[in-house]
Amino acid sequence: MRNASQPARHSVRLTAVATTALLSLSLGVLPATAATPLPAPAAAAAEATSPLDRKALRASLDAIHRAGMYGAYSSVRDGSERWRGATGVADVDTRRPMRAGYEHRIGSITKTFTSVAVLQQVAKGRVDLDAPIAAHLPDLVTGERGRKVTVRMLLNHTSGIADYVLPAFPGILVNPRKALDEGQFRELAPEKLVRLGLAAQPQAPRGTFAYSNTNYLLAGLLLERVTGQDPEAYITKNVIRKAGLRHTYFPRSAYVSGPHARMYESMYGLIEPARDYSVYDMSWAGTAGAMVSTTDDLNDFYRLLLSGKLLGAAELREMKTTVATSPPGQEEGMRYGLGLFRLRMPSGGWYWGHNGSVFGAETWALSTEDGRRQMSLGYNLTKYQELGDDGMPLPNPIDTALVAHMDGALSGVPAKRTSGPLRTPQHLPLGLRLRP
């Protein structure tokens, strides 16, 4: 049995993973299946949806639990038609069943909310997307970086600023359970976390996409400087309440306030059995990944956003202006905008949204271009894969089941099983492939 008391033989492999996906608040490991790119007409057809097939949705959701996931819940919408389902257990000890509608930590989906708030300030003329960040935070981002990193670069992850997560959890590569336990009730100021990111080695040069949670803590501090308000309070009033969301919030303590599942972290088998981290001080994630929501609220939010109800046309257009996330010459499966990405599913359709992962909780929220067809999915066991000799997660049956449910829910066509995992880009320290 593998556990945190036997870390030495895993440390080399875990170090390899850490530079691409360890804790990630974000773009996580997209469990998916390899697919040959469809020609443009076929891809467009794949995004044309059909009415909800409730039997197929139920079957594909249950398949996630049968594949080994503790529990999951999903909400799917097409116009005014809705389907909600849950599978598996919310608590592995009591066997309490999972329920649709539970609150859930949504990790980096928080970034979309933060970006909307910044773009509201752009609309008011208080923030220029192409102005240097030093114009707003000269005491924090100094020197050449302060002069050359723009607000836009923060929001689309091309700033060249490193992620702070690894240095914020010292020892996590050696003994992850100890590192996570020690941080459970620790309160961290965003300025301290930003300084850790600024001091760390960047994963890519400025101007190249490299997912970094530090960018969105800086965006939160920018909001505070421009509005004179606590950024979480500002986002709550001007984004969450404006959208009419009733179960979405920044937690005020280490506890999720509403009904929720326990959230289990495996850290690729280095924490065995997987440990419940549903109680956790989320100051370490802040405006990059601390929020709690429900799958229904997320569908409401992205529908309002994509239909132009939360931002003006110019600001939404900026949000949907994307950069490549894959190295030149590599097939593209995702492009990143301003707190919003466009993702291709195996059947060929492209969808807007975001994903997020924190210790024990993973969430996906994806929509068609017009926000008519939507799928939000949450589950309560993270980093369940084993590591290969190259230090990267090996394909897992849960991956195939998760992608089949998401693809079928969005396209309206039950997904066919394929031979391998479809991976999202893997360039970030704790982020894109793993997620917080």
pLDDT at 158 over 90: yes
Angstrom CA distances, 36 to 347, 362, 366, stand at 9, 27, 21
How far is 221 from 292, CA to CA, in rounded Å? 20
User: How many other CB atoms sit within 10 Å of the CB of residue 87?
Assistant: 23
Whole-angstrom distance, CA of residue 299 vs CA of residue 319: 18
Q: What is the gyration radius of the CA atoms in the chain, in angstroms?
A: 20
Q: Is residue 33 over pLDDT 70?
A: no
Q: Are 324 and 81 in contact (CB under 8 A)?
A: no
The secondary structure of 10-58 as a DSSP string is HHHHHHHHHHHHSS-SSS-----B--PPPPHHHHHHHHS--S--HHHHH
pLDDT at 42: 38
The strands making up 275-276's β-sheet, listed across from edge to edge, are 275-276, 264-265, 381-382
DSSP string for residues in 90-148 = S-TTT-PBP-TT-BEE-GGGHHHHHHHHHHHHHHTTS--TTSBGGGT-TTTS-HHHHHH
Q: What is the DSSP string of 308-349?
A: TSSS-HHHHHHHT--EE-S-TTSPPSEEE-SS-EEEE-TTS-
Q: Which two tokens stand for residue 14?
A: 């875990």
% helix, strand, coil for the chain, step of 5 = 35, 15, 50
The region that residue 380 occupies, defined by phi over 0 for left and psi between -120 and 50 for alpha, beta otherwise, is: alpha
Cα 211 from Cα 132, distance rounded (Å):
19
List, for residues 162-219, the tens digit of each pLDDT value.
999 999 999 998 899 999 999 999 999 999 999 999 999 998 999 999 999 999 999 9
Distance CA 280, CA 283 (A): 9
Count of Cβ atoms closer than 10 Å to residue 198 Cβ: 17
330 confidence band (pLDDT: 50, 70, 90): confident
Positions of E strands within 201-349? 264-265, 275-276, 292-293, 323-324, 334-336, 341-344
Tens digit of each residue's pLDDT (9 = 90 or more) over 45-74: 344 456 899 999 999 999 999 999 999 999
Beta 292-293 vs 323-324: how paired, if at all? unpaired
pLDDT at 418: 41
Whether a cis peptide bond, with omega within 30° of 0, leads into 273 is yes
Question: Is the model's pLDDT at 29 over the cut of 80?
Answer: no
Identify the pLDDT of residue 219.
Answer: 98
**Strand pairing category for 381-382 and 264-265:** parallel
Nearest Cα residue to 315 out of 165, 128, 175: 128
Supply the DSSP symbol for 85: E
Return the pLDDT at 14: 56
Higher-confidence residue: 427 or 346? 346
Cα–Cα nearest to 116, from 375, 327, 385, 308: 308
Cα distance between the two ends of the chain: 26
Q: What is the pLDDT of residue 45?
A: 39
C-alpha dihedral, 217 to 223 to 228 to 232, nearest 10°: -60
Residues 401-415 pLDDT 10s = 999 999 999 998 876
Q: What is the pLDDT of residues 292-322, one digit of tens each?
A: 999 999 999 999 999 999 999 999 999 999 9
For residue 95, what pLDDT is reported?
98
